[in-house]
Amino acid sequence: MNQDRIIKQTDEYVLHTYNRFPVSLDHGDGVRVWDTEGKCYLDFMAGIGVYALGYHFPGYDEALTAQLGKGLHTSNLYYHEPLAEAAKKLVLSSGLSKAFFTSSGAEAIEGALKAARKYSFMKYGPDRYEIIAMKDSFHGRTAFAVSVTGNEHYQEPFRPLVGGISLASFNDLDSVRGKVTDKTCAVILETVQGEGGIFPADKEFLKGVRALCDERDLVLILDEVQCGMGRTGTLWAYEQYGIKPDILCTAKALGCGVPVGAFVLNEKLGSESLAPGDHGTTYGGNPFVTAAVSKVFDLFKENDIVGHVERTTPYLEKKLDELKEKHECILSHRGKGYMRGLQFDESVSAGAIASKALKKGLLIITAGHNVLRFVPPLIVGEAEIDEAAAILDECMNEI
């Protein structure tokens, strides 16, 4: 089927909830993908931060093929080895206690919020249920996740939302403290805000929120669905702040392509919140996806993926800073590791840059208000960074 027919048939039969680029992707290899017409693209969006290892990383396909030969699904009524292995690696890497696997990041957020409320319900009764979230945050599109997403655009058509949610200002500890009441049970935030425009948490802010939660026995939930799994130069972004969450939410690069997420609880929440019958999932943690998760952890360790990000980040920063210095339309450059944003002034549209880059063979996306988002595979090196920067420079010169 050619590209035009694929696009036409998709538009005819698939609900229009995404404004797709007019390209039909067919296959990938390394950090490049090809469309159905044979055109090659350098991938600097990695399926929105999913393909941390790129396409067909040695050992990954083989692990999935081996599990495919055994079976995809058992349900959570039985034990299986891939789940045991994946859970151990995830828990030990996070420094927490118990893991629950989901099929998406939004489901991980749902489970984490339920666990927080259940903990508070058991310890303090039914009147302590309020959750503090952050303005300009993004946590997913399910009902509870939308309710803690601090963006009116995502919320307005779906009101009434889940109640008991208040919004504080990100990186403003006084704002968070001012929202705490006798009914507060949890605080949820992204360690690095993604969809809101690539804003890392300030160290003093995050340490202050952790101290506030300790003081008031509030559950601190960190959403690292996008910024976790090595993207910021440490396996988990919170490692750079000297704190731990009570609950960690992860997905995207956790499985490097298979639909899997997870929330991980510390010992207190793991033993004093969700119990049998409180939460469940038919597909979550099945043998296929957990075989992928287990292999991803092995490949990260064997190939020092996080170390590569840490070593290469200064070069990526340098090239993006050079673009900012050259083009006055770029207002700022911010981010951590391989999670970066270039913000443009109103004279230039980040979306227009992304569309022009696509025509020149570079896949890149936007975030927040007029921000070009960089979330490439974690295996890109200096040559690919040079190539991407050159394409973007050309696009900006033309626009």
Averaged confidence pLDDT in the chain: 97
Q: What is the pLDDT of residues 363-383, one digit of tens each?
A: 999 998 999 999 999 999 999
> Does 283 share its domain with 331?
no
Which of the four pLDDT bands, split at 50, 70 and 90, describes residue 304?
A: very high
Inter-residue contact 204 to 62 (CB < 8 Å): no
Q: Residue 271, SS3?
A: helix
Q: What is the mean pLDDT of residues 230-249?
A: 98
Q: What is the mean pLDDT of residues 342-370?
A: 96
- What is the count of structural domains for the chain? 2
Beta bridge partners of 134: 168
> Does 280 share its domain with 354?
no
Name the pairing type of β-strands 98-102 and 261-265. antiparallel
> Does 109 share its domain with 52?
no
> Does 225 share its domain with 83?
yes
Residue 59, number of CB atoms within 10 A of its CB: 14
> Does 179 share its domain with 309?
no
Q: What is the pLDDT of residues 148-196, one digit of tens each?
A: 999 998 999 999 999 999 999 999 999 999 999 999 999 999 999 999 9
Among residues 183, 48, 50, the alpha carbon closest in space to that of 125 is found at: 183
- 65 lies in a domain? no
> Does 50 share its domain with 186?
no
> Does 49 share its domain with 86?
no
CATH number where 274 lies? 3.40.640.10
Check residue 316 and give its pLDDT.
Answer: 98
Structure token digits, residue 112: 């984490």
> Does 290 share its domain with 309?
no
> Does 326 share its domain with 294?
no
- 323 lies in a domain? yes
Inter-residue contact 173 to 209 (CB < 8 Å): yes
CATH number where 335 lies? 3.90.1150.10
Q: What is the pLDDT of residues 3-24, one digit of tens each?
A: 999 999 999 999 999 999 999 9
> Does 322 share its domain with 268?
no
Q: Residue 228, SS3?
A: coil
Q: Is residue 362 scored above 90 in pLDDT? A: yes
CA dist., res. 317 & res. 341, Å (int):
10
Rg (CA), the chain: 21
* Domain edge (last residue) among 284, 302, 320: 302
Spell out the residues 6+ positions from residue 137 whose beta carbon is closer than 8 angstroms to its own.
148, 149, 150, 151, 170, 188, 189, 190, 193, 196, 223
**What phi and psi, each to the nearest 5 degrees, are found at residue 165?**
-115, 130
CA dist., res. 105 & res. 223, Å (int):
9
> Does 122 share its domain with 52?
no
Which of the four pLDDT bands, split at 50, 70 and 90, describes residue 240?
A: very high
Q: Which domain holds residue 227?
A: 71-302
Among residues 384, 49, 56, 61, the alpha carbon closest in space to that of 198 is found at: 49
Q: Is residue 338 scored above 90 in pLDDT? A: yes
Q: Residue 51, SS3?
A: coil
* Domain edge (last residue) among 243, 268, 302: 302
Check residue 399 and give its pLDDT.
Answer: 86
* Domain edge (last residue) among 302, 337, 369: 302
